[in-house]
């Protein structure tokens, strides 16, 4: 016997024995290991980006699925994977509840369990669909990847949507790896990554199957995506809008003290001082950008402070700031908006944008009439829910290309960051990630915003109270940034917009076609469905 052949056969046998061993786990051991694999997969997300854990997690999940004989068991397996994954990926949500612990600390156990429990319904649907398909080998990998991407897509739109931490976010470790988002969007990237990560599951199939061919083809697919992105970037210009230098101000004011009445003027003074700091290497700033609710006052109603803001604004420029906006005090119901307002050098208001995609339980309480009786309040809005604005808007302002403002987590929604009928020249994201401290949350948020730039082919400027602030070009490349927990400014030119990308023109239609083809290939010549009796 040839030694190399013997070693290869022994390795193949080891994979098969491992797959059989996992498939034979039952009950809580199966669900517990599935949850642990979900936690492991979360390590691939920012800021860790441990991509090699994904093949371990996804292959393990599919081997565990081999032992599920019922629909209920298949769904429970995927749900437990998702629960572990989202607990590990969203642990930082609890940070916001500690800003006012006397009010909200009691909600921490519910936040860190109920949100993941809901999101895990989508991963449960993935394994259920794979189980129902009865596909095996490479066909099962196709069905799994298509179902995973489809469920991420649905998660982003159902019940106002929450597309946080799609699998593709792991690929933001490389500019080249995410260029496919310009065609298929973030969920198309998730499809590719799920396909590649699940491919090693075929190593446990019986001898004679093209196991290593499948794994090799998956690796080549990922390499092709990476290489294609690298070629796109190699030919990418670094053009900037002439005559525009933006100054992004990061005040770094802790959320605990942000709204204390006695400190409001001190906070404003910090932003005024930073706005007039010496010019950077990019040249004299022409426009100032402050983050979400940077000024703890109602700007539209405070002429004195608004004039102070105008005093630091470049003569022919503008100052963008996040602020609260209220309706008439006598009006009922009383209305408040989370807004961005634009001030000129005289202190006059030039434009207003109201956030339209509000955060459930952060800025409003769904079913407040019912849940309010249980003592639930929105963390940011408390007793008065914020009012939603009319939707994506393109603002035209002197001296700048048309801009589409986005406040906070509005930047995580693919195909919903710009008015398709009035394409802007750049995206402006004002946010306040101070709610989440020094956790993984701000890194994940920044990575997600970068993907919107790639999808739309538009530069994105991000101003965050405590970081991460940055300027990103239409290829998703970070041209300037200010890290988490730092106080300061970054001066940078505004990158020029690219031509409209396929994603910006057609949205998710190309992805739908890809997923349909993948599902058809995975379901073609499907075997008989397994017995669905028993408890699983």
Output the domain CATH number for residue 279.
3.60.110.10
Nearest to 316 by CA among 432, 400, 384, 225: 400
- Omega into 333 within 30° of 0, i.e. cis? yes
Let me know whether 68 and 169 are in one domain.
yes
For residue 233, CA distances in Å to 448, 472, 477, 478 come to 19, 14, 9, 13
Let me know whether 230 and 250 are in one domain.
no
Residue 216 CB neighbours (<10 A): 12
Rg (C-alpha) for the chain, rounded Å, is: 25
* pLDDT at position 531: 42
For residue 386, give both structure tokens.
């914020």
- Domain containing residue 10: 3-234+508-523
Let me know whether 66 and 204 are in one domain.
yes
In a domain? residue 528: no
For residue 424, give both structure tokens.
């802007």
355 is known as an active-site residue:
yes
Which residues fall within 8 angstroms of residue 256, CB to CB, at 6 or more apart?
99
Let me know whether 170 and 257 are in one domain.
no
* pLDDT at position 2: 52
**Catalytic member of 68, 152, 258, 292:** 292
For residue 341, give both structure tokens.
């307002």
CA atoms of 256 and 229, how far apart (whole Å) = 42
Let me know whether 313 and 291 are in one domain.
yes
**Catalytic member of 95, 152, 408, 455:** 408
Let me know whether 417 and 468 are in one domain.
yes
Let me know whether 427 and 470 are in one domain.
yes
114 is known as an active-site residue:
no
Let me know whether 252 and 223 are in one domain.
no
Complete DSSP assignment for 357-401 = SPPBTTTB-TTHHHHGGGT--BTTTBTSPPPP-SS---B--TTS-
Complete DSSP assignment for 174-234 = -TGGGTTHHHHHHHHHHHHHHHHHHGGGGGGSPTTS-HHHHHHHHHHHHHHHHHHHHHHHH
**Catalytic member of 152, 258, 355, 456:** 355
Q: Is 472 exposed, middle or buried (0-12, 13-18, 19+ CB in 10 A)?
A: buried
CA atoms of 9 and 247, how far apart (whole Å) = 62
Let me know whether 221 and 299 are in one domain.
no
Sign of CA dihedral 465, 471, 475, 478: negative
* pLDDT at position 12: 63
Let me know whether 57 and 137 are in one domain.
yes
Phi then psi for 280, rounded to 5 degrees?
A: -90, -170
In a domain? residue 367: no
103 is known as an active-site residue:
no
In a domain? residue 395: yes
* pLDDT at position 330: 61
3-state helix, strand, coil in the chain (%, to 5): 50, 15, 35
Let me know whether 153 and 276 are in one domain.
no
Nearest to 536 by CA among 21, 223, 72, 61: 72
Q: What is the domain count for the chain?
A: 2
In a domain? residue 452: yes
Q: What does pTM read for this prediction?
A: 0.91
Tell me the pLDDT of the chain (536 aa) as tens digits.
454 445 445 456 777 788 788 878 788 999 999 999 999 999 999 999 999 999 999 999 999 999 998 999 999 999 999 999 999 999 998 888 887 777 778 778 888 888 999 999 999 999 999 999 999 999 999 999 999 999 999 999 998 899 999 999 999 999 999 999 999 999 999 999 999 999 999 988 776 567 788 899 999 999 999 999 999 999 998 899 999 999 999 999 998 898 888 898 999 999 999 999 998 887 899 999 999 999 888 888 888 999 999 999 999 999 999 999 988 766 667 788 999 999 999 999 999 999 998 888 777 776 555 555 445 555 555 556 888 888 899 999 989 999 999 999 999 999 999 998 999 999 999 999 988 989 999 999 999 999 999 999 999 999 999 989 999 999 999 999 999 999 999 999 999 999 999 999 999 999 999 999 999 999 987 444 444 433 34
Let me know whether 16 and 39 are in one domain.
yes
In a domain? residue 502: no
In a domain? residue 251: yes
Q: State the DSSP code for 283.
A: B
In a domain? residue 375: no
* pLDDT at position 70: 93
Round to the nearest angstrom and report the end-to-end CA distance of the chain.
42
* pLDDT at position 386: 85
In a domain? residue 374: no
For residue 239, CA distances in Å to 459, 473, 516 come to 11, 9, 38
Which residues fall within 8 angstroms of residue 415, CB to CB, at 6 or more apart?
185, 455, 503, 507, 508
CA atoms of 203 and 221, how far apart (whole Å) = 18
Q: Which single residue is written with the structure tokens 């398909």?
A: 133
* pLDDT at position 440: 94
Phi then psi for 341, rounded to 5 degrees?
A: -125, 150
Order of strands across the sheet that contains 349-354: 349-354, 336-343, 319-326, 287-289, 240-250, 488-495
């Amino acid at each position: 016997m040839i030694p190399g052949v013997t070693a290869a056969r022994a390795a193949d046998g080891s994979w098969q024995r491992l797959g059989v061993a996992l498939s034979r786990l039952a009950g809580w051991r199966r669900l517990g290991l599935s949850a642990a694999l979900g936690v492991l997969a979360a390590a691939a997300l920012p800021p860790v980006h441990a991509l090699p854990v994904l093949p371990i997690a996804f292959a393990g999940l599919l081997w565990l699925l081999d032992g599920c004989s019922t629909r209920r068991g298949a769904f429970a397996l995927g749900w437990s994977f998702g629960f572990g994954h989202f607990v590990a990926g969203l642990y930082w949500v609890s940070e916001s509840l500690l800003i006012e612990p006397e009010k909200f600390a009691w909600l921490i156990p519910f936040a860190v369990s109920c949100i993941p429990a809901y999101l895990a319904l989508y991963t449960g649907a993935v394994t259920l669909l794979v189980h129902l398909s009865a596909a095996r080998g490479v066909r099962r990998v196709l069905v799994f990847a298509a179902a995973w991407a489809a469920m991420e897509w649905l998660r982003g739109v159902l019940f106002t949507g929450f597309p946080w931490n799609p699998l593709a976010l792991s690929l933001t470790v490389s500019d080249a790896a995410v260029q496919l988002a310009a065609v298929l969007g973030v969920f198309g990237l998730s499809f590719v990554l799920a396909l590649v990560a699940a491919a090693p599951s075929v190593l446990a199939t019986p001898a004679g199957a093209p196991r290593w061919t499948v794994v090799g083809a998956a690796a080549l697919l990922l390499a092709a995506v990476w290489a294609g992105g690298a070629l796109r970037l190699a030919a990418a210009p670094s053009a900037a809008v002439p005559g525009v230098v933006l100054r992004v101000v990061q005040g770094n004011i802790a959320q605990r003290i942000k709204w204390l009445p006695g400190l409001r003027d001190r906070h404003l003074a910090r932003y005024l001082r930073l706005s007039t700091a010496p010019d950077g290497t990019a040249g004299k700033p022409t426009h100032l950008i402050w983050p979400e609710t940077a000024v703890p006052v109602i700007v539209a109603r405070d002429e004195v402070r608004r004039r102070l803001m105008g005093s630091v604004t470049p003569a022919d420029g503008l100052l963008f700031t996040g602020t609260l906006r209220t309706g008439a005090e006598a009006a009922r119901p009383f209305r408040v908006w989370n807004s961005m307002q634009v001030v000129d050098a005289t202190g006059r208001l030039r434009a207003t944008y109201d956030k339209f995609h509000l955060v459930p339980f952060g800025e409003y309480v769904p079913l407040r009439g019912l849940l309010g009786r249980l003592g639930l309040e929105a963390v940011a809005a408390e007793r008065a829910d914020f009012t939603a604005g009319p939707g994506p808007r393109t603002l035209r302002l002197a001296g700048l290309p048309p801009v589409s403002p986005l406040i906070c987590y509005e930047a995580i929604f693919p195909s919903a960051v710009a008015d398709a009928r009035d394409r802007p020249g750049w995206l402006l994201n004002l946010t306040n990630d101070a709610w989440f401290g020094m956790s993984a949350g701000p890194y994940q948020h920044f990575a997600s915003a970068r993907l919107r730039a790639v999808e739309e082919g538009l530069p994105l400027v991000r101003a965050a109270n405590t970081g991460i602030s940055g300027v990103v070009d239409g290829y998703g490349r970070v041209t300037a940034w200010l890290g988490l927990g730092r106080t300061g400014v970054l001066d940078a030119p505004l990158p020029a917009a690219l031509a409209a990308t396929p994603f910006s023109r057609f949205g998710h239609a190309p992805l739908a076609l890809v997923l349909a083809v993948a599902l058809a290939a995975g379901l073609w010549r499907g075997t008989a469905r397994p017995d669905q009796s028993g408890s699983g």
